[in-house]
Amino acid sequence: MKSSVFWALVRKDIYVLRGFMIITVAVGLAALVGMRFGRIGFAIGGILFLTANVAGGIFIAMYSLLTERKEQSNLFALSLPISGFKYDLAKLVSGYVGYGIPWSVLTAIGLAGYFMPYAAADRGMFVYGLVLQLFVMALFSFVLVWLFVVASEVLAGLVILISNICFSLFMVTLNQPEVTRPLHSPHIVWTPFALWAIAGELAVIALSTALALFALSRRRDHLRSL
Amino acid sequence: MTQQVSPQAFALRGVSKAFRYFKLENLSLELPLGQILGLVGPNGAGKSTTIRLLMGLMTAETGSIEVLGHRVPEQVAAAKAGVAFVSDDMRLFSGATLAWHMRFVASIYPEWDEAYARTLLKHFNLRAEQGVKGLSRGEHIKSMLLLALARRPRLLILDEPTSGLDPVARHELLTELMQIVRDESRSILFSSHNTLDVERICDQIAFIDRGRLVDARDKESFLDRWRRISLDVPTGVTLPRLKDVVNLTLGEQLATLTTDRYEPALDAVLQASGARITDVQRMSLEEIFVASVMRSRAEVQS
């Protein structure tokens, strides 16, 4: 082989996903800029930033996996000299890379904002931002992995519905005064809630990835339609 | 990666695969190198399942599969390095152009023949810069064939490639396949329910129905052995009991007998019984296929 089929498929997915990646970053950055324009700007920008993160992740996961199955271009990819397991693995990697790049850019720029002079009074909210962004990545992992595992459109819809409910519940929990009050500080404070939340989020990412690898290693038929 | 030497392009031995409403049963089928095998069967016969097992897209429950000397699914990536596969229900990546696909496939296969790809592009009247989304059904199939042929595969697997094509596109495709057929080092598995296409390009033929292999042999043998004999049977004459009679239709004084092992000696046996042979017809592949399938179904039911 001239080049690794595995990486050729990953590069192909990134090429196909480039539009979603660019839009996610562009909307997220515009939202961050908007957050600097007063209370209303902060509120609208905040919602837009979260929407870009969450919706971007769901679109990337769905487009990367379901569209290829639905359009049956997976049959073309599977005709290349690659095993079914490695094809699935390439999809998993490209899903993480495809979302990981815009997520990393937005997370890095968003969190860096807390270290700007204008945000000095609220620097403690860095922890809030980190917990939130890690939750978004955990949610993406959950959606990506379950879309891998389920084989019907109805179940795929259910996965997305569950992810939306999880996000709403998490936002309600995260915005409780007893959670946010200690974070409104010029200093970074690692509260027990924040530490537990970060640990839980990292665990969800790790377990989701492990579940995906386990499911893929046991798969005997690699042609799935949806 | 070293290529193993095998006299067969592929070999399936005792392969079974069960689904909820369908079972491929104990399938054994081989394709010698340099030959073209037509896999003929009605819709739902198991042609695509057979091909998907060969391509390692599914795993057989029993039996063994070898493709270009490599065991499948264990060595499927090595096996697929020498295989190009085009299917009726396969699609290219909708967000890219044909040119992008050509670069993509060329980056993977060292045997990619750019000059041949350009020739096919012109021959199939395709535009490389056209987005895949805008391709018609025929153009889509031709694009996939271009990508398959230009990588110069040792084994070409075509699953219903002419399905849904207009007569002109079908003619172009079959003509191109005829060109490839001239290269004796390449093997082709051509699955179709269109017996005319199969008869035109294949030299080996296998009939499959309801997950079972009905018959498999070389095309000339099929065409030579099958005959439909029309008889005039005078009153009082009883036709002898003959083995190898696939079908016998008796009228008042006329009979039509179909056999899959015709020999000139059969004429003498029939005439000796008092019947008069009015016609001995060679059968088309389609007629042979239908008769074979009907006989197989009758055997299964009995």
B17 contacts in A (CB within 8 Å)?
none
Domain ranges of chain B: 8-220, 227-282
Identify the three-state secondary structure at position A22. helix
What CA–CA distance (Å, rounded) separates B124 from B176?
Answer: 10
DSSP secondary structure letters along A115-181: GSGGGGGGTTHHHHHHHHHHHHHHHHHHHHHHHHH--SHHHHHHHHHHHHHHHHHHHHHHT-HHHHG
User: In sequence order, which residues have a C-beta less than 8 Å from that of residue A226 and are 6 or more positions away?
Assistant: A66, A69, A70, A151, A152, A153, A156
Could you tell me the residue range of the domain that residue A34 belongs to? 5-218
Interface test with A, best of B104, B137, B158 (most A CBs within 10 A): B104
Give B8-220's CATH code, choosing from 3.40.50.11540, 3.40.50.2300, 3.40.50.1970, 3.40.50.300.
3.40.50.300
User: In sequence order, which residues have a C-beta less than 8 Å from that of residue A191 and are 6 or more positions away?
Assistant: A127, A179, A182, A183
Nearest-CA neighbor of B176 among B154, B203, B148?
Answer: B148
B73 contacts in A (CB within 8 Å)?
83-84
Tokens 């067969």 appear where? B8
**Are residues A84 and B56, on separate chains, in Cβ contact within 8 Å?**
yes
**Are residues B91 and A16, on separate chains, in Cβ contact within 8 Å?**
no
Out of A19, A75, A221, the one facing B90 most closely (by C-beta) is A75
Assess if residue A139 is contained within a domain.
yes
**Are residues B108 and A3, on separate chains, in Cβ contact within 8 Å?**
yes
Assess if residue A151 is contained within a domain.
yes
Largest CA distance in chain B: 76
**Are residues A82 and B80, on separate chains, in Cβ contact within 8 Å?**
yes
Q: At what angle do helices A84-112 and A192-218 cross, to 10 degrees?
A: 160
Helices (H), chain B: 47-54, 76-80, 98-108, 114-123, 137-149, 167-181, 195-201, 219-225, 264-272, 285-301
Cα-Cα-Cα-Cα torsion B248, B252, B253, B257, nearest 10 degrees, comes to -10
Assess if residue A223 is contained within a domain.
no
Tokens 């990819």 appear where? A77
Q: Which residues of chain A have pLDDT under 70?
A: 1-3, 224-226
Per-block mean pLDDT, blocks of 10 residues, chain B (302 long): 67 94 94 92 92 95 96 94 93 92 94 94 91 90 93 93 82 79 80 88 92 93 92 87 85 89 88 91 92 88 80
Residues B142-167: tens digit of each pLDDT: 999 999 999 999 999 999 988 878 88
Q: Which residue type, as a one-letter code, is found at position B275? A: A
Q: At what angle do helices A5-34 and A84-112 cross, to 10 degrees?
A: 20
Out of A68, A75, A82, the one facing B89 most closely (by C-beta) is A75
Assess if residue A224 is contained within a domain.
no
User: In sequence order, which residues have a C-beta less than 8 Å from that of residue B272 and are 6 or more positions away?
Assistant: none
B55 contacts in A (CB within 8 Å)?
78-79
A176 Cβ under 8 Å from any chain B Cβ: no
> What is the distance in angstroms between the Cα of A166 and the nearest Cα belonging to chain B?
32
Assess if residue A225 is contained within a domain.
no
A223 Cβ under 8 Å from any chain B Cβ: yes
Out of B56, B107, B110, the one facing A83 most closely (by C-beta) is B56
What CA–CA distance (Å, rounded) separates A208 from A9?
Answer: 22
Characterize A145-154 residue by residue with b for buried, 16 or more Cβ atoms within 10 angstroms of its Cβ, and e for exposed.
bbbbebeeee
Q: Identify the pLDDT of residue B265.
A: 87
Which ipTM value was assigned to this complex? 0.86
pTM, rounded to two decimals: 0.85
B71 contacts in A (CB within 8 Å)?
none
Nearest-CA neighbor of A201 among A152, A108, A130, A117?
Answer: A130
Assess if residue A9 is contained within a domain.
yes
Assess if residue A136 is contained within a domain.
yes
User: In sequence order, which residues have a C-beta less than 8 Å from that of residue B171 and are 6 or more positions away?
Assistant: none
Radius of gyration of chain B, Cα coordinates, nearest whole angstrom = 22
Assess if residue A126 is contained within a domain.
yes
Helices (H), B131-203: 137-149, 167-181, 195-201
What is the dotted CATH code of the domain comprising B227-282?
3.30.70
What CA–CA distance (Å, rounded) separates A46 from A27?
Answer: 11
Q: How many domains are contained in chain A? A: 1
Q: At what angle do helices A5-34 and B98-108 cross, to 10 degrees?
A: 130
Out of A8, A73, A222, the one facing B93 most closely (by C-beta) is A73
A1 Cβ under 8 Å from any chain B Cβ: yes
Task: Please give the C-alpha separations between residue B228 and each of B206, B225, B274, in angstroms, as whole numbers.
Answer: 21, 10, 18
What CA–CA distance (Å, rounded) separates A77 from B91?
Answer: 9
User: In sequence order, which residues have a C-beta less than 8 Å from that of residue B186 and are 6 or more positions away?
Assistant: B34, B153, B154, B155, B156, B180
A218 Cβ under 8 Å from any chain B Cβ: no
